[in-house]
Chain A
Amino acid sequence: MTEDLLKVDGLKAYYQMNYFGIEREVRAVDDITMTIRKNEIYGIAGESSSGKTSFIKVLAAAIRPPMRIIAGSVKYDFKGLSVDVADASPEQIEAIRWRHLSYIMQGSMSVLNPVRRIGKTFEDFAMRPLGLSGAAYRERVLNHLERLKLRPDVLRAYPHELSGGMRQRVTIGLATVCHPEFVIADEPTTALDVVVQKEVLGLIREIQQDMGSSVVFVTHDMSVHANMTDRVGIIYAGRLVEEGPTRQMFFAPKHPYTAHLVASLPRIGDTTQRPALEGRPPSLANPPSGCRFHPRCPLAIDKCKAEVPPLMTVANDHRSACWRWQDVEPLVAPQKAVMA
């Protein structure tokens, strides 16, 4: 349970562009250190242009110019195969893809080729990494579809003949048919309606527990994190500002940004005035000095403007990058205030 599958150490990934003579550097991922354990769902939360998309691109070994890894390492420790994505050869990456590392993407339509039947797409993706053929392959796929509550005849369908929820289940099937040890799910349910969303989320969790793999689940929606994940990491302006067990993050956040995100979620049955956070997320091309949250932070002191707070252990398994973490209070009292 506590074995690590992925170790990210001091990762810096910048976009470096030379565009019509103007040099720009966008520090999308700036010094992130974290680990992801075996058999857990790790949630990554962050707003648009917080760098979370760039971060998972690195995790998925999809690093393309203008993005470049400046420093740090991203070490995977698969069964009998260790790979550092930061300096792996294309062959090494090809060897781990789908077999060990796969992803569920946001738009199911962009993954599924619209003019190919689902069954063909499955063959394209899964046949080679599985190393099976004929009856064995077919049985494996059909078993897997059954687990996703999909009927075998979806294999003969074209993507446009399926509903949004079904399509998303098919993409989940594609990503998990090889039983990868590590799955990255990038906003897989954002485009779905609430009823279907919950169903799809439940399915991802079920499959994860069946396979015992690790899932990195990325979404900006905190209520999804609350129900999906075992641990949550919050990314703000390219930095990991807080991470911890999901329950503690929601009921005892130790970073003012997290406290705000949690407090601003309205709840049915509660009409108390919700606080709103002023200001805007900073630009990654020109981030504020010190703690990047300080211009919007209600607790900011002079030290926050000058010195970058490191991730400090604030409780068991719970780290926060805030100089004043001891003063952070949950902004809205949880209704069922029972701490784990």
Chain B
Amino acid sequence: MSTLLEVRNVSKRFTMGGLLSRKTVDAVQDASLTLSAETPEIFTIIGESGSGKTTLARMILGLELPTSGEISFRGKTVSHRVSRQERLDFMANVQPVFQNPFEAFNPLKRIDRYLESTARRFLKLSARDDLDGAMDGALQKVGLSLAEVKGRYPHEMSGGQLQRAAIARALIPNPPLLVADEPVSMVDASLRMSIVNLLKSLRDDLGVSVIYITHDLATAYYISNRLIIMQRGRIVEMGDARTVLDNPEHPYSRLLKASVLSTEDAGSGKLATDPAMVKLAGELSGTAGRLIDRPDGRMVRVYS
């Protein structure tokens, strides 16, 4: 089994403030995860704001360098401080999908120019027909077509369509890995599911692995194979998505699940969270502990 992506003991520390009041923030602490090249999967990173999930994603994309530890993609260290050719080779394999579809494209420019640039650069195409073919092919995969997108500006399309176009662009170099940072949090309710279903079909039909970053446990349960739950920079629980979310073990994971608003008791107005649960999870947030394996395949952080 060969590895696609390996994140080994990665930490990231930010230093804030000026000369006098220096403050350090540990955004990510000792995170490790591995994605295999053979079995495509949706790997979810769950966390609230400040959990370090976005920092971890930025490091995987090579936009940020880890303070310690190493991230490697197919055995090569991920970094933005490499030659342009090496960086382009990396980008051909790992592509991002961003949070805000209305910001993904320059509002003053036509959408298709991003697709064209990607096809030109990564597929080394230059003939008009080849470029159009590559663009149309990628757009068809996401349920759009070149005729719908060509010559249009971002404000002429809905959030859902824009997010699809952004995903289509990312798919042009046929990357084995997509990194999607909260891709549906800013898409309208009626269009959200179409994006989530699309990510699912990318894995099932095209064999693309997706790192899906979210705070929404319900969509994570719906589409992911494996997941990690992060609290204040630390992974507190990791394992098969269904195993973990059906029966979370770490107090923080339990709190998160208990805080999910379910529709099963619609109209009953039950909104209480057990305060003991909040307290317990809060107390653990600063403690180091260690991750240990469980017989059902998950890893949980324990403190003793």
The digit string for A47-76, where 1 denotes a CB below 8 A from any CB of B, is 110000000000000000000000000000
Q: Indicate which residue in B48, B190, B218 contacts A281 across the interface (CB closer than 8 Å).
A: B190
Q: Nearest Cβ distance between residue A181 and chain B, in whole angstroms?
A: 20
Give B contacts to A, CB under 8 Å: 48-49, 157-161, 188-194, 196-197, 215, 217-219, 221-222, 242, 245-246, 255-257, 259-273, 278, 281
Which residue on A lies nearest to B49, using beta carbons?
Answer: A193
Q: Is A264's CB under 8 angstroms from B267's CB?
A: no
Q: Indicate which residue in A201, A222, A267, A334 contacts B271 across the interface (CB closer than 8 Å).
A: A201
Sample (10) of A-B pairs whose CB atoms are under 8 Å apart: A45-B189, A199-B273, A220-B188, A251-B266, A261-B190, A265-B218, A266-B219, A269-B221, A271-B242, A277-B190
Give how many A residues have a beta carbon under 8 Å from the other chain's beta carbons: 54
Q: Is B48's CB under 8 angstroms from A194's CB?
A: yes
The digit string for A325-340, where 1 denotes a CB below 8 A from any CB of B, is 0000000001110001
Q: Is B260's CB under 8 angstroms from A268's CB?
A: yes
**Which residues in A have their C-beta under 8 angstroms from that of B197?**
273-274, 276
Q: Nearest Cβ distance between residue B194 and chain A, in whole angstroms?
A: 4
Q: Is A269's CB under 8 angstroms from B246's CB?
A: yes
Q: Indicate which residue in A202, A223, A251 contacts B273 across the interface (CB closer than 8 Å).
A: A202
A216 CB within 8 Å of chain B: no
**Which residues in B have their C-beta under 8 angstroms from that of A271?**
221-222, 242
A289 CB within 8 Å of chain B: no
**Which residues in B have their C-beta under 8 angstroms from that of A201?**
261, 271
Q: Is B267's CB under 8 angstroms from A230's CB?
A: yes
Known: A194-B260, A223-B261, A280-B158. A264 touches B190 (CB 8 A): yes
Q: How far is the CA of A296 from the CA of B268 in the complex (A)?
A: 31
Q: Indicate which residue in A193, A226, A228, A296 contacts B262 across the interface (CB closer than 8 Å).
A: A226
Q: Indicate which residue in A250, A276, A278 contacts B267 across the interface (CB closer than 8 Å).
A: A250
Known: A268-B245, A273-B197, A340-B267. A195 touches B48 (CB 8 A): yes
**Which residues in B have their C-beta under 8 angstroms from that of A45?**
189
Among A212-226, those with CB < 8 Å from B are 220-224, 226
A245 CB within 8 Å of chain B: yes
Q: Is A48's CB under 8 angstroms from B49's CB?
A: no
Q: Is B259's CB under 8 angstroms from A197's CB?
A: yes
Q: Is A274's CB under 8 angstroms from B193's CB?
A: yes
Given contacts A194-B217, A266-B193, A268-B262, 7 further A-B contacts (CB under 8 A): A195-B278, A197-B261, A226-B263, A227-B261, A247-B267, A249-B266, A269-B221
Q: Is A47's CB under 8 angstroms from B263's CB?
A: no
**Which residues in A have their C-beta under 8 angstroms from that of B259?**
194-195, 197-198
A246 CB within 8 Å of chain B: yes
